[in-house]
Every structure is written in structure tokens, then in C-alpha cells.
Amino acid sequence: MRTKVREYRRMAGMTQQQLADAVGVSARTIISIEKEQYSPSLMLAYRMARLFGTSVEELCLLEDNLRMEGEGE
């Protein structure tokens, strides 16, 4: 799943460790999400979106993902 976590984290002036501490996960989890090696759970995506003042859909690019799935039908 593509996300804008890195973009939002940098705009907030946060390190990966600071974001991890703020949402209750390890820095390794944030690194993996940013490298698209791990998809955040819905709850984690919600916590990050709330922290950044955006929606889960915007943070996780859900609209693009749904559009791509629809094109394959």
C-alpha cells in the first residue's frame, strides 16, 4: 500500500522515532511503512492521520488504490 507517511512526517518536522513514539509503534515499523514494506493497520493509519490532521484516505492513498482495482475488472 502506498502512503504519504514520509511526506506528512517531514512536513511536521518529525523524525521517524518521534512519529513512532507519538503513535505507539517502533521506529522500525515507521521505516517499513515509509519503504512500502509494511501496510499499517487501520488503527495505526487512523492514529497517524489524526496526528497529521488529515484523513486515512489521504494518508494511505485509498482513492488511488480503489481506482486501480476497478480498472482491473
pLDDT number for residue 64: 52
Per-residue pLDDT band for 3 (boundaries 50, 70, 90) equals very high
Per-residue pLDDT band for 71 (boundaries 50, 70, 90) equals low
Per-residue pLDDT band for 62 (boundaries 50, 70, 90) equals low
- pTM, full prediction: 0.81
pLDDT number for residue 63: 56
Residue ranges of the domains in the chain?
Answer: 4-71
In the CATH scheme, what is the homologous superfamily, with its name and number, of domain 4-71?
lambda repressor-like DNA-binding domains (1.10.260.40)
Q: What is the pLDDT of residues 6-27, one digit of tens each?
A: 999 999 999 999 999 999 999 9
Where helices occur in the chain by DSSP H, the ranges are: 5-11, 16-23, 27-34, 42-52, 56-60, 62-71
Cell 487501520 locates to 42
